[in-house]
Structure 1
Amino acid sequence: MKGEKAKQFINNILTPMDIRINGNRPWDIQIKNPKFYQRVLSGGSLALGESYMDGWWDCNALDEFFKRLLEYRIDKKAKSLKPTILWAVFKARFMNLQRGARAFIIGRQHYDTGNALFKVMLDKGLNYSCGYWHNARNLDEAQTRKLDLICRKIGLKQGMTVLDIGCGWGGFAKYAAETYGVKVKGVTVSNEQAGYARERCKSLDVTIELADYRDLNEKFDRIVSIGMFEHVGWKNYKTFMAVVHRCLKDDGLFLLHTIAGNTPSRDTDPWIGTYIFPNSMLPSASQISRAAEGLFILEDLHSLGRYYDRTLMAWYDNFTQNWDRLKDQYDMRFFRMWSYYLLSCAASFRSRRNQLWQIVFSKQGIDRVFRSEGELFIQP
């Protein structure tokens, strides 16, 4: 299909979503290269993202464009799989892309992109996960409230030992050690994160290691994993839970903070997997619960997905407003790629296609009452 036929086909797809080609509304797309239509028809979501990175099309409100695509369930309405998508699905289903030998790829490709980027995009504590905007006025407050929310949910007390799986730049480790007087061990697969976290926590009872979670084998009073489970992969969910069970004391608590999908998945969006989070995928409620069965009791599940839209838009604002501080290190194609990433992800939460959950697990059960937006949670 070429030329005007390809354009008409794309137009017929977009019309039910109230998206116009070269329209005058913020979410309408502006086509700069007539080869766009055939490229997207041939390459699906990967080509859609790559053609945007190449400047073949524009949109004043990418987040609203994607919200309409996702609400319409464009992925479910596709008649057939393109070869590039079929290969991505094959790899995800029949190869363990997150096996130990590949565990550090995400660190090198994404988290080692450069601390300068994340310093201007994130809050002052460099927390790269959903903020808790309940009674928060800005991003810094939302992230601090998130950290304290986690600490209270697991009932931290002075002197406890805490394991942080996927510790990032040490935001939680620093906050928990300073505020609650606990001893924290953090592990990450990113060299950039490990070095930065060690430096910022050097005066605290905090240890940061560059390590794969599968190598952990010591006991802790509490374990948290904040925004890391998305990189574990469906073939390893049970292994991850078994490692946490092995490392958690019998009377301990484990809090899992993760992006999630509404249905089980064994693959990821080809563009996201290629350019942003290699070998990543979102777990569903059933996949998480099956992985935890026989190991943990699920004590509480708190849905925070509506806050991720606001978090991502705050990151986007920080990124674009501070681009002058970054443009000597990154080119315009990176700017378009990163904008596409942040705004499409914001739309995924706005349309409720993606979720964000905090789940508290115990090994033997606890006799405490949880509340959600009413606060309080666990009392030590």
Structure 2
Amino acid sequence: MTTKSKDVELSDDIQWIETPAQAPPKFETGESCGIALTNAKSINNPPLPADGPGNESFSNLLLGGAIIGVPGLLTYLLGGGKKTFIFFTLVTVLPVLVAFWTYTSTFSPRTNEKVKLPGRPVEHYITFKRDEDRAKWSGRNKIPMQTFSEMYLDGLVDFNGDVLEILEYRHDWASFAFTWDLFKFIVGTFFVDVLFHTKAQDEEQIRPNYDRGNDHYAWFLGPRMIYTSGIISDPDREETLEELQDNKMAVVCEKIGLKEGETMLDIGCGWGTLAKFASLNYGAKVTGLTIAENQTAWGNDALRKAGISEEQSRIVCMDYRDIPRTKYDKITQLEMGEHVGIRKLTGFFRQCYDMLNDDGCMYVQLSGLRQAWQYEDFIWGLYLNKYIFRGADASTPLWYYVKCLEGAGFEVKGIDTVGVHYSGTLWRWYRNWVGNIEAIKAKYGPRWYRIWELFLAWSVIASRQGSATCYQMVVVKNLNSTHRINGLASQFGLMGALAKSREAGKSRLP
């Protein structure tokens, strides 16, 4: 087992708190927003679920016309030929893109007007520290969300109350216009990360993120130390964060039909909690892989304390590209693919294919983006990429993941979309983070606290409303010799629907 480094916090070093209650609302209008609202105890229910501008008012034809038309006009005015046109196309394509996206994100109408905005002034929600900022954004002159987020991290503006509640009303005080700073990050940083995703790059970006400190993550993840979505089992009850995560681990093990004595590889295992769960509850022999040394130490310590021998299960600190080509009965990967990158997903899935027994099963959980996007989706996603998950770029619509899995030789057996479950999980993470404010600020400073406070609160909303979501996919090898009948009992979408109908006495014609 891995011995503890003097600088690595383990579970005994953490002072855990019970997830605090959500702060009471202070910004309710007392009037209907124009549509029906939810009242579930399992999530933070939106008081103002408004839609912003997005793809419905964006025209690829107009964008293509601008990209071709601007250099075409310049070529015509100068009397040039084909080479002149190509030159002007290369020179103008980036400025045209910036101008077009800036204009459309600033002036496009909302996707729909069903939700009525309160129409309160900007200063009702936020307070600027500088006179020039107060003069620039006040009344109905909304501040761009990207500009606001940078100012908030720098301490130049404050929320006039609970961050999550005020973000729920962001359509009333913020716009989602693209800014020059946003474009600079996209071109200078994001595109570079997407293009390469080398092993050295991942080492530089991912390892420091997860090795920042186990206490940092413990302050919002809670005792289970699971950095992926839990599963809500009862929308009318506020289950604890630990209940949500236990629900999720049970779902994973059942979806892959995990049996005692089977070998399981958990790629990107985090702090090893799924490995511990599968070892204790299902008797599996689990190898967990993480690139982070702190997670390795934590995971092996947790296995040892649970009485699980190293011969049965262990956590290994290793890059996924270095995994020995051993065969496994089951493979799991929960939101690990984001660090692989969209360009390399098919190759990574093929690597998994080669390590999976022919009668095996693989569980893949990946964050996703909606095809029918809104500008806010991109602004939130780029904030996440800049401050939380540098280099993570594999959030795409569902169809792309299916394409990559099928291209690697897999057949999709089942898919569940769990975005609202993620929202419920994040809501609890946010409250844990706020509840540990003094400890966080004392060790990491107020700016670091604000970075994660804003991310967690905004993500509660993003995952609930569909800006981001999460897909659970179960796949098997697409071989003639794959005995698909053996997997029937774990197709819970089918079995669950049938069981519900039978329970209600509605499953047969009279």
Whether the TM-score (by the shorter chain) exceeds 0.5 is yes
Amino acid at match of 1:357: Y
Does 1:131 pair with 2:245?
Answer: no
Residue in 2 aligned with 1:371? 492
Q: Kindly name which structure, 1 or 2, has the bigger radius of gyration based on alpha carbons.
A: 2
Measured after TM superposition, the shift of residue 273 of structure 1 is: 2.0
| CA distance in 2 between partners of 1:118 and 1:331 (Å) | 15
- Residue-by-residue CA offset, 1:287-310 (whole Å, 9 max, x unaligned): 211211241000000111101111
Does 1:336 pair with 2:450?
Answer: yes
TM-score normalised per structure 2? 0.63
- Choose from 132, 149, 153 the match for 2:251: 149
- Choose from 200, 203, 209 the match for 1:110: 209
Residue in 2 aligned with 1:195? 297
Amino acid at match of 1:30: T
Q: 1:372 to 1:166 in 2, by over 3 A?
A: same
Secondary structure of the corresponding residue to residue 441 of structure 2 = coil
| CA distance in 2 between partners of 1:221 and 1:70 (Å) | 49
Secondary structure of the corresponding residue to residue 118 of structure 1 = helix
Residue in 1 aligned with 2:220? 121
Alignment RMSD: 3.5
Mapped contact 2:122–2:172 kept (Cα < 8 A): no
- Choose from 153, 164, 167 the match for 2:269: 167
User: Structure 1: which 5+ runs fail to align?
Assistant: 1-9
Residue in 2 aligned with 1:5? none
Measured after TM superposition, the shift of residue 220 of structure 1 is: 0.4
Mapped contact 1:272–1:341 kept (Cα < 8 A): yes
Residue in 2 aligned with 1:301? 415
User: Structure 2: which 5+ runs fail to align?
Assistant: 1-105, 499-510
- Residue-by-residue CA offset, 1:210-235 (whole Å, 9 max, x unaligned): 11112222110000011212222111
| CA distance in 1 between partners of 2:364 and 2:188 (Å) | 31
Amino acid at match of 1:227: E
Residue in 2 aligned with 1:3? none
Q: Name the stretch that deviates more: 201-210 or 185-194.
A: 201-210
Measured after TM superposition, the shift of residue 191 of structure 1 is: 1.3
Amino acid at match of 2:155: G
Mapped contact 1:105–1:278 kept (Cα < 8 A): no
Does 1:235 pair with 2:347?
Answer: no
Measured after TM superposition, the shift of residue 371 of structure 1 is: 2.5
Residue in 2 aligned with 1:184? 286
| CA distance in 2 between partners of 1:165 and 1:229 (Å) | 9
Mapped contact 1:165–1:224 kept (Cα < 8 A): yes
Q: Name the stretch that deviates more: 283-292 or 13-22.
A: 13-22
Measured after TM superposition, the shift of residue 189 of structure 1 is: 1.1
The percentage of aligned residue pairs carrying the same residue is 26
Secondary structure of the corresponding residue to residue 266 of structure 2 = strand
| CA distance in 2 between partners of 1:239 and 1:264 (Å) | 27
Residue in 2 aligned with 1:355? 469
- Residue-by-residue CA offset, 1:267-318 (whole Å, 9 max, x unaligned): 9843322221100121321221121124100000011110111111101111
Residue in 1 aligned with 2:404? 291
Measured after TM superposition, the shift of residue 160 of structure 1 is: 0.1
Mapped contact 2:264–2:329 kept (Cα < 8 A): yes
| CA distance in 2 between partners of 1:283 and 1:156 (Å) | 29
Amino acid at match of 1:183: K
| CA distance in 2 between partners of 1:19 and 1:297 (Å) | 50
Residue in 2 aligned with 1:316? 430
Q: Name the stretch that deviates more: 53-62 or 139-148.
A: 53-62
Mapped contact 2:365–2:472 kept (Cα < 8 A): yes
| CA distance in 2 between partners of 1:79 and 1:49 (Å) | 12
Secondary structure of the corresponding residue to residue 469 of structure 2 = strand
Q: 1:287 to 1:74 in 2, by over 3 A?
A: farther
Residue in 2 aligned with 1:85? 186
